[in-house]
Amino acid sequence: MAKTLIVRRVKPLPSTKDVQNGELVEERHPFESLTELQRQYDLPCSDILSIREVQ
């Protein structure tokens, strides 16, 4: 069974690409590993605030 990762991160505003004024988003991703998640979504580690797994 695949794990679901709940990722809290600050999403930059599309107009400015500025993370400081971005919005906090919580996303669910059904991935096996964080590296796969980062590769697929091109997420830098610094943008990710917290990650937790749910079954």
Burial-class residue 22 by CB neighbours within 10 Å (0-12, 13-18, 19+). Answer: middle
Instruction: Name residues whose C-beta falls within 8 Å of residue 26's C-beta, 6 or more positions apart in sequence.
Output: 6, 7, 8
The domain spans of the chain are 4-54
Task: Dump pLDDT digits (tens) for 1-55.
Answer: 567 777 787 777 777 666 567 777 787 877 766 677 777 767 666 666 666 777 6
pLDDT one-digit tens code per residue, 25-34: 787 877 766 6
Structure tokens, 3: 């794990």
Rounded-to-integer distance, Cα 29 and Cα 4, Å: 6
Count of CB atoms within 10 A of residue 36's CB?
12
